[in-house]
Amino acid sequence: MSSPLKKDPAWQALAEHAREMSGVHLAKLFADDPARGERFVAEADGIYLDYSKNRVSDETLRLLLKLAEARGLRSRIEAMFRGERINRSEDRPVLHVALRAPAGESIVVDGQDVVPEVHAMLERMAVFSAEVREGHWRGHTGKRIRNVINIGIGGSDLGPAMACQALRHYGAREMALRFVSNVDGTDFVEATRELDPAETLFIVCSKTFTTLETLTNARTARAWSLAALRDEKAVRRHFVAVSTNAAEVSKFGIDPANMFGFWDWVGGRYSLCSAVGLSLMISIGAESFRAMLAGFHAIDRHFLGAPLEKNLPVLMGLISLWYNEFFGAQCTAVLPYEQYLARLPAYLQQLVMESNGKQVTLDGARVDYQTSPVVWGEPGTNGQHSFYQMLHQGTRLVPCDLIGFCKPLNPLDGHHDLLLANLFAQAEALAFGRPADPKAPQRGFEGNRPSNTILLDQLTPRTLGSLIALYEHSVFTQGAIWDIDSFDQWGVELGKVLAQRIAGELQDPEAGAAQHDSSTAALLRRYMRLRL
C-alpha cells in the first residue's frame, strides 16, 4: 500500500516525467530556449534566484506546482501564519514569523495577540544591549564589559554564532563575542583563556534551561567568574539568561530581572529573531537587528502572499525535492561565495536536517519516500580546491546552491571580481561541463550537474534576514509535501537518555554492570581503565 503522497496523481505524473527528464542534458535545455536564463528566475526583496541551471522544464515546474497544490501547501502556510498548532507532536503553534512581525500586526495565540509581547521584549533587549555597548552596564568591580560569551547549544547557539560572524562587518569591534556550546571542556577553556572575568558577561541561553551541556558550561562559567571576583553578588553583573523557564533560571542563581524570555511557540532552530539573538544584538546594535528582522519579514510576506510559481522558497523547496525523490540525490551543497557566511552551512544543517529528517508522517505512518537531504558545504573559493572535484567528476548527483553578493564588504583591489568570476564559472562548469577527449577521459566533464545561483546586492543585516527566511520557508515547503512534523526533534532524545545513564555509571563503576551490548561494555571498561 502506497502512502497518500505516492498515490497522488501529481506525484505519479512527476515520477513518469522524471523518466523522460533523466536523459535530458542542461546544454540541450539551454540550446532549445535561448531565453531560459532570464525566464527561469525569480526575485523577492533583493534576492535574485536563478534556477535555470536545474534539470527542469516548464512541464517539470507545472507538475511540481501541481503537487504543491494537491498537498495543500497554500493552506498549510496560512495555518502556520494563523497560529494553528501545526507542530502536532508537541501540540504547539509554530510562530517564528511573529518574531519579526511589525508592531501593529496581530497574531493571536490562545486568544492573545503575541505581537505586542514580542515588541516589548525587543525593546528590553535593545535597552540592555545599548547599556553593554555604551559601557553603562559595568562588571562587578566597575570595569567595562569587553567580552560577551553566549553559552548555549543547538538552536541556542548556531543561529547567533552564524549571524554574529555573518554580520561581523557591522559589529562592535571593541568587544569580543564568543560562543561556548560543547560539553568538551576545551570549548570553555579556549573561549576564556586570555579573558579577564571582571570584563566578561555570560549569556546563558537555553529555552528549557535543563540542557546538560549548557548547564555544565554555565556552572563552570560561574565558578570561573567567582574564583576571580570572590563575591556571589558578582553573578548579577556577569550573568544574564535567555530562556522560557524562569523557575530554573532563578534556581541557577540568575536574577529573573536579568532574564530575557521567549515563548514555547518558538522552536530552537527558528529562534534567532527572539531573545536568543541577544548576543547578536549586543554585537550589531538594535537598529541593525531590526533591519535583519525586516529582511526576515519581507520574505515571510512573500512566502505567504506570492503566487506559488513566483514564490522563491516554494520553488527552491520543490526543485530540491525533485532531485531528492526522483534522481536519487542524497545531499545538497550550500556554497556561499562570502567568507562572512562560513557558518551558514552548519546553521542550515540543523535547520534542514533537524526539521525534515523524519520517518513518520503527521499521523504516525512510516513514510515510503525520502525526506531530508544531507546538507553540507564550505565557502567558495576554498571548496573548489577540495571537494568540488567530486561535484564535477564524481558519480553522485549533488545539487548545489551557490550564494554570492554583488558588492563586497572588504573591497581589496581585484578580489571581488575574482571571487564572483569563480562563482559564475563553477555554475557554468557544473551545468555544461566539457567534452571528453578520447585520449584523456580523465579530463572530461559530463556537466548536467544542477545548481541554483542566489545573487544578492550586498551582505547586510537585512539581506541576511531575507536569506535565512528563504531557507526556513523552503524547509517548510518540503515538510508540508512530505506531511511530516518539521518542528519537533524527537530524534535527539535517545542519545541524551543513554548518555545520562552512562554518565551515572562512570561515577559508580559497580553500576556499570548494567546491561550493555558487548561493544559498549568493552569500550566503557577500557575508558575507565585509561581515563585520568
C-alpha cell at position 414: 581585484
Closest approach, Cβ 212 to ligand G6Q, in A, equals 9
Interacting positions 143-162 with ligand G6Q (CB under 6 A): 153-156
- Written as one letter, the residue type at 527 is Y
CA distance 199 to 201: 7
Site string for ligand G6Q, 367-406 (x = CB under 6 A): ----------------------------------------
Q: Quote the least distance from Cβ 122 to ligand G6Q, whole Å.
A: 19
54 touching ligand G6Q, by CB under 6 A: no
Q: Rounded CA gap, 186 and 122, in Å?
A: 33
**Interface with ligand G6Q by CB under 6 A: which range of 17-25, 202-210, 252-260, 439-447?**
202-210
Torsion angle of C-alpha atoms 437, 438, 443, 446, degrees rounded to 10: 80
Question: Do 452 and 51 meet the contact criterion of CB atoms below 8 Å apart?
Answer: yes
3-state secondary structure (DSSP) of residue 531: coil
**Minimal distance in Å, beta carbon 86 to ligand G6Q?**
15
Task: Specify the residue, 125 or 429, whose C-beta has the smaller distance to ligand G6Q.
Answer: 125
235: cell is 553573578
Q: Is 354 among the residues that bind ligand G6Q (CB under 6 A)? A: yes
Cα separation, 4 vs 18, whole angstroms: 19
Site membership for ligand G6Q, residue 277 (CB under 6 A): no
**CA dist., res. 132 & res. 146, Å (int):** 9
Q: Would you call 59 a catalytic residue per the annotation?
A: no
- Distance CA(264)–CA(95), nearest Å, equals 9
Active site residue 496: yes
- Looking at residue 405, the DSSP 8-state letter turns out to be E
- Cβ-based nearer residue to ligand G6Q, 208 or 393: 208
Chain centre to alpha carbon of residue 508: 39
Nearest to 344 by CA among 307, 383, 306, 372: 383
Q: Is 416 in the site for ligand G6Q (CB under 6 A)?
A: no
Here the cell at position 257 is 530581572
Nearest residue (CB) to ligand G6Q, 183 versus 420: 183
CB of 239 or CB of 388, closer to ligand G6Q: 239
Residue nearest to ligand G6Q (CB): 154
Please say whether the dihedral angle defined by the alpha carbons of residues 312, 318, 322 and 328, taken in this order, is positive or negative: positive
Among 207, 222, 238, 302, binds ligand G6Q (CB under 6 A): 207
Min CB(290)–ligand G6Q separation in Å? 23
Which of 199, 213, 354, 472 is catalytic? The answer is 354
Helix %, strand %, coil % of the chain (to 5): 55, 15, 30
Instruction: Kindly identify the residues of this chain, within the stretch 320-339, that bind ligand G6Q according to CB under 6 A.
Output: none
Q: Does 71 bind ligand G6Q (CB under 6 A)?
A: no
Q: Residues 271, 313, 340, 191: is their CA dihedral positive or negative?
A: positive
CB of 440 to ligand G6Q, least distance (A): 48
Our finding on whether 52 is near ligand G6Q (CB under 6 A) is: no
CB nearer to ligand G6Q: give 207 or 473.
207
Beta bridge partners of 151: 180, 204
- Report the C-alpha gap between 380 and 424 in whole angstroms: 11
Asked whether position 433 contacts ligand G6Q by CB under 6 A, the answer is: no
- Give the footprint of ligand G6Q on residues 465-494 (CB under 6 A): 489
Does the footprint of ligand G6Q cover residue 274 (CB under 6 A)? Answer: no
Query: What is the closest distance, in whole angstroms, from the C-beta atom of residue 92 to ligand G6Q in the complex?
Result: 12
Angle among Cα 221, 224, 228 to the nearest 5 degrees reads 140
Q: How far is the CB of 413 from ligand G6Q (least distance, A)?
A: 42
Three-class HEC string of 104-141: CECCEECCEECHHHHHHHHHHHHHHHHHHHHCCCECCC
Strands 176-180 and 239-243: unpaired
Q: Which is nearer to ligand G6Q, 60 or 214 (CB)?
A: 214
CB of 351 to ligand G6Q, least distance (A): 9
Please report whether residue 214 would count as binding ligand G6Q according to CB under 6 A: yes
Q: Given candidates 53, 269, 392, 416, which one binds ligand G6Q under the rule CB under 6 A?
A: 269
Q: Which of 385, 439, 493, 510 is catalytic?
A: 385
Alpha-helical runs (H) found in 433-492 = 461-482
Place of cell 546544454: 27
Q: Residue 309 catalytic?
A: no
Q: Which stretch binds ligand G6Q (CB under 6 A): 31-39, 140-148, 172-180, 264-272?
A: 264-272
- Positions annotated as catalytic residues are 354, 385, 496
Chain residues in the site for ligand G6Q (CB under 6 A): 153-156, 206-208, 211, 214, 267-269, 354, 489
